[in-house]
């Protein structure tokens, strides 16, 4: 049965017709998405007895292509919930959002930076951007509940019974990180990945992740991981994710160029995994008007000018485009993933298995947290006697 590759947001349900049979009459296996998930642990999908005979497991996944409500995190969270609800109504088990969806990708802004100087307006822009970011961890030594925005995202995943992969701007004190957070369909917060290498001007506003947040979560749905934007062009980092067994490789991005599609196809073939890439579709009017938000060089655009054209896509382990790319507007890009395609793809190419040569080439990943200051338990609580 052919799938509708994308559906404009707000277009109602029915993005894909009810799917009862798949190629040759094989039954779709029912995946138990309510069980617990562990990072880098084994899993076993729960199938009906009938479907076990056919061994055809189908997962419906949606990639969100939509814009942030810039400088308004509560409104962005409300928008995210509407999109998750629509994806769930279409039967999706997994919903993937773009890079920096919560907090916003500050496209075109220079934060008043030039070599050797910073402008006061840029400092104020950063203050507002920092205020829009969300906290993921309670303060050290504080016996406090999870931060409210994290609780809200958790509640969305639980309410709509979906696995959720969400791009956020994370604040840790006064340092910001481009981060992806993961939730299971019970609303459990599985963990996060911080962008290891911000690109170009992103390094002015975002810190650098370390090797402690390169997870692949082994869930009843699938083994799920994510790399962000141009991290996906780092072959050693990709290899680390492949080595953890990723099956559904999420690639939130801000790159809307056609060349991005080539990268996504290559990764699907190289890793023998499904690739789900989510990007925002933004017009100038989706950002605050000047002077609250200005583009570098004083460039002012027509309110309907497209500043990020999307291109969200879903690709199979065999390199087949299952849905997208979409460059037309905000959309839900949805496809059914035949998990048997992973074995079919790795039959003749398993990059960290039978097609590897560890006797010649190997990779070491430093997966411990990198902190600038370490305290012993006694000195961290000792009074300052200076």
Whether the upstream peptide bond of residue 325 has omega within 30° of 0, thus cis, is yes
State the Cα–Cα distance between residues 162 and 321, nearest whole angstrom.
23
For 124, other C-beta atoms within 10 Å of its C-beta total 13
Check if the beta carbon of residue 68 is closer than 8 Å to that of residue 57.
no
Check if the beta carbon of residue 334 is closer than 8 Å to that of residue 87.
yes
Which residues on adjacent β-strands are paired with residue 182? 165, 191
Q: Which residues are catalytic?
A: 99
State the Cα–Cα distance between residues 136 and 146, nearest whole angstrom.
7
Residue whose tokens read 């009938």:
50
Query: How far, in whole angstroms, is CA 28 from its chain's centroid?
Result: 26
Q: Between the CA of residue 281 and those of 221, 304, 365, what are the distances in Å?
A: 28, 12, 35
- Say if strands 189-194 and 6-8 run parallel, antiparallel, or are unpaired: unpaired
State the Cα–Cα distance between residues 248 and 349, nearest whole angstrom.
17
Check if the beta carbon of residue 59 is closer than 8 Å to that of residue 118.
no
Query: How far, in whole angstroms, is CA 364 from its chain's centroid?
Result: 25
């Amino acid at each position: 049965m052919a799938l509708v590759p994308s559906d404009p947001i707000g277009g109602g349900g029915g993005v894909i017709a009810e799917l009862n049979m798949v190629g040759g009459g094989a039954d779709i296996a029912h995946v138990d998405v309510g069980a617990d998930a562990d990072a880098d642990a084994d899993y076993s999908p729960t199938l009906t007895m009938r479907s076990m005979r056919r061994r055809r497991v189908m997962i419906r996944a949606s990639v969100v292509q939509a814009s942030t409500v810039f400088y308004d995190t509560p409104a962005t969270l409300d928008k995210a919930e509407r999109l998750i609800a629509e994806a769930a109504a279409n039967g999706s088990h997994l919903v993937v959002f773009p890079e920096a969806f919560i907090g916003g990708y500050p496209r075109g802004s220079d934060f008043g930076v030039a070599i050797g100087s910073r402008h006061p307006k840029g400092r104020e822009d950063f203050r507002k951007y920092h205020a829009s970011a969300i906290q993921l961890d309670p303060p050290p030594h504080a016996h406090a509940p999870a931060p409210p925005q994290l609780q809200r995202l958790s509640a969305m995943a639980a309410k709509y019974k979906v696995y959720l992969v969400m791009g956020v701007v994370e604040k840790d004190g006064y340092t910001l990180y481009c981060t992806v957070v993961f939730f299971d369909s019970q609303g459990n917060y599985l963990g996060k990945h911080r962008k290891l290498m911000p690109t170009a001007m992103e390094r002015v506003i975002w810190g650098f992740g370390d090797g402690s947040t390169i997870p692949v979560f082994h869930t009843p749905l699938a083994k799920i991981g994510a790399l962000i934007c141009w991290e996906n062009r780092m072959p050693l980092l990709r290899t680390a994710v492949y080595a953890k067994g990723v099956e559904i490789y999420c690639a939130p991005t801000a790159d809307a160029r056609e060349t991005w599609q080539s990268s996504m196809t290559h990764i699907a073939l190289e890793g023998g995994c499904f690739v789900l890439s989510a990007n925002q579709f933004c017009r100038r009017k989706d950002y605050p008007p000047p002077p609250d938000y200005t583009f570098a060089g004083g460039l002012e655009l027509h309110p309907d000018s497209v500043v990020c054209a999307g291109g969200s896509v879903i690709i199979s382990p065999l390199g087949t485009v299952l849905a997208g790319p979409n460059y037309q507007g905000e959309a839900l890009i949805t496809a059914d993933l035949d998990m048997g395609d992973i074995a079919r793809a790795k039959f003749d190419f398993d990059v960290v298995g039978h097609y590897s040569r560890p006797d010649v080439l190997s990779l070491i990943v430093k997966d411990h947290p990198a902190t600038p200051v370490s305290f012993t338990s006694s000195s961290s609580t000792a009074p300052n006697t200076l």
